[in-house]
């Protein structure tokens, strides 16, 4: 049973969350877990102006995903930073290249799940995840979130991401806040939860 964690990260927040999601999925013994980045669409000159080049070195080793690879997975867990309350353009462009997979029903019945990051606490994490689910449903995927069985999402003693829709982190206006222990625990839980469901479906 194969689980793919497919993500875009500009400054490393989603990358850290993707590692935690993958660690969680690896706890399920039937799962072979791989991490992939979606292709960059911005030129280096723009990434430089956005202050992203240094951070991106941390995950340059993660292979870039091809659209065809999606068809080989049983479960796909997508990670995206929020852009104006939606997924980022790099992820949108990647998904918009899956028309052939849609036409052949290649993703029908696979498990799909989403995690996110935004600069501000109420800056659109939930809308990013929920609007991403629309694409997964068009592809015929079985959408899985982050159940309240992960009790860390109920805590109010500290500021935290995480909702029933999926794990998330709050990056701060300058990207100065990295995922907290609670947010990473949510990501691990989601990875394990998805892999557990996929293991039952795809014995």
Contacts with ligand FMN, residue ranges (CB under 6 A): 9-14, 81-85, 117-120, 123-124, 171, 175
Question: Alpha carbon of 45 to those of 10, 49, 131, 195: distances in Å?
Answer: 14, 6, 30, 38
Query: Minimum CB separation from ligand FMN for residue 72, in Å?
Result: 25
CB of 18 to ligand FMN, least distance (A): 9
**C-beta of 55 vs 201, nearer to ligand FMN:** 55
Question: Nearer Cβ to ligand FMN, position 82 or 135?
Answer: 82
Residue with tokens 């794990």: 167
Bridge partners, residue 76, by sequence: 4, 112
Rounded CA gap, 47 and 189, in Å?
Answer: 32
Q: How far is the CB of 118 from ligand FMN (least distance, A)?
A: 3
Cβ atoms < 10 Å from Cβ of 159: 12
Start-to-end Cα distance in the chain = 7
The full length of the chain comes to: 203
- Between 2 and 166, whose beta carbon lies closer to ligand FMN? 166
**Of 140 and 172, which has the nearer Cβ to ligand FMN?**
172
Q: Are 76 and 110 in contact (CB under 8 A)?
A: yes
CB of 15 to ligand FMN, least distance (A): 6
């Amino acid at each position: 049973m194969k689980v793919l964690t497919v993500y875009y990260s500009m400054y490393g927040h989603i990358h850290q969350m993707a590692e935690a999601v993958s660690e969680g999925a690896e706890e399920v013994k039937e799962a072979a877990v791989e991490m992939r980045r979606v292709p960059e669409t911005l030129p280096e000159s723009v990434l430089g102006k956005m202050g992203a080049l240094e951070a991106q070195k941390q995950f340059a080793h993660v292979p870039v995903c091809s659209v065809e690879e999606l068809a080989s997975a049983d479960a796909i867990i997508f990670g995206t930073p929020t852009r104006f309350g939606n997924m980022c353009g790099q992820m949108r462009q990647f998904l918009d290249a899956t028309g052939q997979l849609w036409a052949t029903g290649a993703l029908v019945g696979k498990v799909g799940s989403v995690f996110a990051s935004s600069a501000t606490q109420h800056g659109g994490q939930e809308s990013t995840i929920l609007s991403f689910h629309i694409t997964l449903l068009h592809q015929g995927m079985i959408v899985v979130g982050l159940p309240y069985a992960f009790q860390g999402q109920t805590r109010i003693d500290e500021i935290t991401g995480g909702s029933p829709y999926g794990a998330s982190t709050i990056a701060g206006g300058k990207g100065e806040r990295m995922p907290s222990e609670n947010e990473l625990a949510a990501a691990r839980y989601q990875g394990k939860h998805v892999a557990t469901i996929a293991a039952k479906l795809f014995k």
